[in-house]
Chain A
């Protein structure tokens, strides 16, 4: 049974990896209209994520595959249950990729502006939808005794989930802004340095509301926080990380600010995981129907095989992810290969 627990942790790591990595390039997309004043600015912003955004999205693929392998019942129930929302995310992801590839291919100003709006709206939309999805997972969804969700698209859009959508947008905008402080120079850098503290305040206010609302929700996971008070260490440490990020930006220690921001996201993911554990998808109608790390998992044999795969593969994944970021470190300059 320790395998189930370990796979739960690994799964949270993969999702955390996705949110931290693709998170900043989504954030760059959201902030683009607030920062760029010229076409050159826009291209600099786009090229700050140029060599890495494709690789970052691969973490989402990994998240899908790992969920299928380790917790197939969650994979089947969650994705068929959130059908239209997930389809919207997938189609928006595609349009975002198209916008990135397409915008600089013609000189026309109207052409570029159109694709820039696609880029911004799709980046924001993905962050929002993922937040809404998380809100629904936290709050619980109706699940029948066959494991099928009995909720339609509109049923997913209740106020708590929408609030998490907004929190998701602000969190990734902040994360993207902090990433940009490492990548920009001159006037663009000054602009993003002025913007980040405002984003910190906005995110902080929204997160406070989220946490308070969460604690007063009747569902099991709020009870989990009350039953296991030590898990409060995760949100508390996340709070410290936000403060560190904010102070680092003021001190112009951009690298440290990014580490703090990434740590904050990791800690918030850990908070969610600790609150849910051992449930992965709570049933709001009948707790007996909840999908847990035990009843929704693959067999011990499969989890063992998958563990071997992960132990063999993940070190390389982390190694070359780190290598690529190291290689493309430094502030953006445009050249002939640029978008």
Chain B
């Protein structure tokens, strides 16, 4: 057994950095589908103008997602070879299915989506966009499925492999539908949609503050804000709250860590913020009495298991899990507040002029991303010390033949390259936003583009018929 800290840092860094982009592509993708549908319905060129603008940003997000995602596909093998041998039968097949069903769908249609704006009619472009966006959602589904199996594994038995024990699939559908899968999937997808809506709202609000592209910005806000407001309420009230029940049932030690609950009790409190002292086994802060019991069992009498039920070796880093979890729920509550404020000023017809609300909307997207990241960290830090829940410990899962120096070299490489990548991303994103939406095309121009499979494949090469 060797020290796995650097491996964990490297995996955490690469996974977290990657995880900026998939939720963005789900959310912005949803917005693009709305624009596409509106374009088909109304034939108003302003919707195509919006699509042309956002598809450029989508292309950038997608390229980042692919570049950082390729790393993830190999990193289980490079740093976690014991884990890979242990779970290959189960986990590997979910990753491969993601590749075949989802990623290829996205990759295949991406070119059509990105370069289709000047080549495809409304319906065919919506089709290409939908394929990419559905592909992205499939992708998320398989990945959350694989991760959920690590959280709540089932449908397998332990067999003796050539190099030690390994998990062998006994029932594919049990592997797919682990108890945590569907609730976690909904939670992540709703969060991603919130992020997409917040992103569109942020750009629109910024245009309104600067008095640029005002009409376009208002249209975008009218699409994005209702989505954000409804989803943020649903997330806080339904999809997020549902997690507490599932985690309490499946991973009680994780829930106890999230809330810093040291003793099993009824009327367990829900902290708003606080600090956990692991030495004295106490948690201090501001809390709502009985709220955790209410969340878990819909009654203040519900018994919630505390950390005292679990050996110290089986607990995660309690304060870390507590802090990231509270960052998420506090931000979640903030989003409900933002939504209420937005609804109020919209009702008072001051949405487009209230500089405070517009400024808030500009930064809101960063907060949503932060909440998503904090939520993911809660799930992953909370899973420790296990890499596969109650089956395989993280410390036992790393590649035994790597030296600390080797991992340090690759970690430094990742830090440097990802720093460049982040700068590139922000710079290009800013450039695209500054450039603003292109001029809307003429309606007749859109009408002249091929808009069915027959028309597309009957044509002479379009690439050569265009003069740049």
Contacts and interface: CB of A to CB of B under 8 A. Distances in A.
B421 A72 contact: no
Given A90-B70, A91-B413, A305 B172 contact: yes
B98 A330 contact: no
Interface of B: 60, 62-63, 66-71, 73-74, 76-79, 81-82, 84-85, 87-93, 95-101, 103-112, 114-115, 117-119, 131, 159, 161-163, 168-170, 172, 399-402, 406, 409-410, 413-414, 417, 420-421, 424, 428, 431, 438, 456-457, 461-464, 466-468
Contacts of A251: none
Contacts of A95: 417, 420
A98 B466 contact: no
Interface string A282-314: 000000000000010011011001100110111
B222 to A, nearest CB: 27
A244 interface: no
Interface in A94-147: 94-95, 97-98, 101-102, 105, 146-147
B109 A324 contact: yes
What 4 pairs between A and B have smallest CB-CB spacing? A72-B88, A330-B461, A79-B77, A51-B111
Given A58-B107, A306-B97, A327-B462, 12 more contacts: A51-B114, A65-B97, A79-B74, A86-B78, A94-B67, A97-B67, A98-B67, A101-B63, A102-B428, A305-B172, A335-B466, A338-B468
A235 interface: no
| Residue from the set B77, B78, B413 with the largest chain A CB neighbour count within 10 Å | B77
A62 B96 contact: yes
Interface stretch (A158-166, A226-234, A315-323): A315-323
Nearest to A68: B92
Contacts of A330: 461-464
A309 B67 CA distance: 25
Contacts of B87: 72
Nearest to B14: A90
Interface in A45-67: 50-52, 54-58, 60-62, 64-66
A105 B427 CA distance: 10
A64 B464 CA distance: 36
A113 B410 CA distance: 28
A309 B63 contact: no
Contacts of A20: none
A334 interface: yes
Interface in A26-83: 50-52, 54-58, 60-62, 64-66, 68-73, 75-81, 83
A118 to B, nearest CB: 11
Nearest to B82: A76
B463 A328 contact: yes
B88 A333 contact: no
26 contacts: A54-B110, A58-B107, A62-B96, A62-B103, A65-B96, A68-B77, A73-B161, A75-B92, A79-B77, A86-B74, A87-B409, A93-B70, A94-B421, A101-B63, A147-B85, A298-B92, A298-B93, A299-B169, A306-B93, A309-B96, A312-B101, A328-B111, A333-B468, A334-B468, A336-B438, A336-B468
A331 to B, nearest CB: 5
A326 interface: yes
B91 to A, nearest CB: 8
Contacts of A321: 104, 108
B410 A327 contact: no
A329 interface: yes
Contacts of B399: 76, 80, 83, 148
Contacts of A302: 89-90, 92-93, 168-169
Nearest to A146: B163
B417 A68 contact: no
A51 B466 CA distance: 16
B63 A91 contact: no
B406 A54 contact: no
A68 B100 contact: no
Contacts of A323: 108
Nearest to B106: A58
A93 B64 CA distance: 12
Contacts of A78: 77
Interface string A157-191: 00000000000000000000000000000000000
B162 A313 contact: no
A19 B38 CA distance: 41
A332 interface: yes
A210 interface: no
Contacts of A301: 89, 168-170, 172
Contact of A328 (B68, B74, B115, B406): B115
Contacts of B438: 336
A101 B417 CA distance: 15
A330 B115 CA distance: 15
B111 A324 contact: yes
Given A93-B70, A301-B170, A317-B104, A76 B99 contact: no
Given A57-B70, A76-B85, A77-B81, A52 B93 contact: no
A147 B163 contact: yes
Given A73-B162, A298-B92, A336-B118, A61 B110 contact: no
A61 B461 contact: no
A147 B108 contact: no
Given A94-B67, A333-B466, A298 B89 contact: yes
Contacts of A101: 60, 63, 424, 428
B62 A54 contact: yes
| Residue from the set A51, A54, A310 with the largest chain B CB neighbour count within 10 Å | A54
A86 B63 CA distance: 20
| Residue from the set A77, A83, A86 with the largest chain B CB neighbour count within 10 Å | A83
B425 to A, nearest CB: 9
Contacts of B131: 320
B96 A70 contact: yes
Contacts of B111: 50-52, 54-55, 324, 327-328
Contact of B77 (A75, A91, A148, A326): A75
A301 B89 CA distance: 9
| Residue from the set A71, A90, A95, A301 with the largest chain B CB neighbour count within 10 Å | A90
Nearest to A92: B417
Contacts of B96: 62, 65-66, 68-70, 306, 309
A157 to B, nearest CB: 16
A65 to B, nearest CB: 4
A84 interface: yes
A149 interface: yes
B462 to A, nearest CB: 7
B63 A62 contact: no
B172 A65 contact: no
A203 to B, nearest CB: 27
A80 B456 contact: no
B417 to A, nearest CB: 5
Nearest to A43: B468
A72 B119 CA distance: 43
A301 B402 CA distance: 32
